[in-house]
């Protein structure tokens, strides 16, 4: 059917791009130790972009089995949208060499039957029930498990033609202890390949229980201003604000703090990378949503701004090259997104740090993107003093993201993966009120 669509498009006096995908997935939700929901879903469709006289039209259809007549109507509709629309068209990518990224497809996940996946979901329910029986009814256990396989492809009038298949699985557990006080803990893991599920489940429940006990016994901390450590979860929250200033659309429309490469934007101890080429990582891919090759992009190196995050459109507007960061599904035109974000820098052993450690914060959506000011609620932190761990929560972590990244003096040696965010601990200066 894609071939028939291409034939129709080639008869029109337009530039065009066809993006298609097909996939299936299963998901399971556990609430209070009971398998509450089991779902199996399928999806497929085509997104079509056309360029006509400097304007862009976009539309989509669901499914991959359509008559020639329906395809012709689809093309006519999209061309009409370009003719009457106001979205400017800057061109599609040219064909480039693509290097296959390995480890993003696993036959074991692709061939997993629904009943087999369901048994794994029941396994979470059973294990959590055992823990509830052990620790008592003041503990509530929940969880999620999901598997998916999808194939997508892209072809355009400039000669790009490629496709790729990938798999993924993820699971999470969430525990609440409520008995006069409240404590919470959670764990999340995502992978392109089948995990050693029993081992990961044991590890996840153990880590979540440790968080629960810290959270349950935590009290607000007295005000603090000085050197502290952020664990990876809180690093991700803080850097989300920083990274938005590196997006090409924000740079072009002057919604970013930055406007030129080569300036100092962080301390020499800090390096930030976007890398879609990492083997087996959850946000890796061989080509992006426009057909540009994936790549490893150093965004900040030893404090110096090296690159912005770019798709084809904003690369052209900024007179730069795409970094292969166009993301999409068939229902949307491509837009700028990140792949695997990695924090590196001047390494020190921070695992034995004594002082204030912030594990988790929330509320980053309230921060000011351009000024960088933030005031985040501490979901969980702790103070290490003479080997003793004293937990705290419900304080506010306040400051400015641009000042914080300039205050960083070291990063830890051990990285942790939180989905597509890969980071060690980070040592900087902050304020807790």
- Residue 22: give the domain boundaries: 2-216
Q: 203 and 277, same structural domain?
A: no
Taking 90 as the threshold, does the pLDDT of residue 9 lie above it? Answer: yes
| Total domains present in the chain | 2
If asked whether residues 205 and 228 sit together in one domain, one would say no
Closest by CA to 255, choosing from 243, 244, 265, 264, is: 244
pLDDT tens digits for range 112-145? 999 999 999 999 999 999 999 999 999 999 999 9
Same domain, 313 and 332: yes
Which pLDDT score is estimated for 366? 85
Final residue belonging to a domain, choices 183, 199, 216: 216
pLDDT band at 163 (very low <50, low <70, confident <90, very high): very high
What is the domain-level CATH number for residue 209?
3.30.2290.10
pLDDT at residue 2 above 90?
Answer: yes
Mean pLDDT of 349-354: 93
Label residue 365 by pLDDT band (50, 70, 90). Answer: confident
Is residue 158 within 8 A of residue 92, CB to CB? The reply is yes
Output b/e per residue, 114-150; b: 16+ Cβ within 10 A.
eeebbebbebbbebbeebbeeeeeebbbbbbbbbbbb
Is pLDDT above 90 for 314? yes
SS (H, E, C) 222-256: CCEEEEEEECHHHHHHHHHHHHHCCEHHHHHCCCC
Domain boundary pick from 158, 185, 216: 216
What's the confidence (pLDDT) of residue 291? 98
What pairs with residue 205 in β-bridges? Answer: none
Q: What would the pLDDT profile of 22-56 be if each residue is shown by its tens digit? A: 999 999 999 999 999 999 999 999 999 999 999 99
């Amino acid at each position: 059917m894609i071939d028939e669509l291409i034939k129709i498009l080639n008869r029109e006096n337009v530039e065009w791009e066809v993006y298609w995908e097909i996939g299936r997935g299963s998901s399971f939700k556990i609430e209070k130790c009971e398998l509450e929901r089991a779902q199996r879903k399928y999806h497929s469709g085509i997104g079509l972009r056309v360029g006509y006289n400097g304007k862009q039209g976009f539309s989509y259809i669901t499914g991959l089995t359509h008559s020639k007549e329906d395809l012709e109507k689809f093309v006519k509709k999209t061309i009409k949208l370009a003719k009457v629309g106001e979205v400017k068209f800057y061109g599609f990518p040219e064909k480039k060499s693509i290097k296959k990224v390995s480890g993003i497809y696993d036959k074991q996940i692709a061939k997993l039957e629904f009943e087999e996946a369901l048994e794994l979901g029941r396994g979470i329910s059973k294990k959590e029930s055992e823990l509830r029986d052990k620790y008592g009814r003041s503990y509530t256990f929940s969880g999620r498990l999901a598997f998916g396989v999808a194939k997508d492809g892209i072809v355009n009038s400039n000669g790009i033609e490629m496709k790729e298949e990938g798999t993924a699985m993820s699971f999470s557990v969430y525990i609440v202890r409520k008995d006069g006080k409240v404590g919470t803990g959670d764990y999340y893991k995502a992978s392109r390949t089948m995990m050693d599920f029993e081992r990961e489940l044991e590890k996840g429940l153990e880590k979540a229980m440790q968080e629960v006990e810290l959270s349950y016994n935590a009290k607000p901390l007295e005000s603090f201003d000085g050197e502290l450590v952020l664990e990876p979860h809180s690093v991700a929250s803080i850097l989300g604000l920083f990274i938005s200033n590196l997006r090409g659309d924000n740079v072009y429309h002057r919604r970013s703090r930055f406007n030129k490469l080569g300036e100092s934007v962080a301390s020499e101890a800090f390096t930030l990378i976007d890398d879609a080429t990492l083997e087996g990582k959850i946000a890796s891919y061989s080509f992006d949503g426009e057909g540009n090759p994936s790549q490893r992009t150093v965004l900040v190196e030893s404090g110096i701004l090296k690159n912005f995050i770019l798709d084809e459109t904003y690369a052209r507007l900024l007179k730069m090259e795409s970094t292969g960061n166009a993301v999409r599904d068939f229902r949307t035109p491509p837009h700028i997104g990140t792949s695997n974000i990695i924090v590196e820098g001047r390494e020190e052993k921070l695992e034995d740090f004594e002082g204030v450690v912030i594990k988790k914060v929330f509320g980053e959506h309230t921060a000011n993107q351009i000024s960088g000011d933030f005031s985040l609620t501490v979901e969980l932190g702790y103070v290490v003093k003479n080997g003793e761990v004293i937990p705290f929560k419900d304080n506010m972590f306040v400051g400015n993201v641009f000042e914080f990244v300039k205050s960083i003096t070291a990063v830890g040696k051990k990285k942790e993966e939180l989905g597509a965010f890969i980071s060690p601990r980070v040592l900087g200066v902050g304020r807790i009120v």
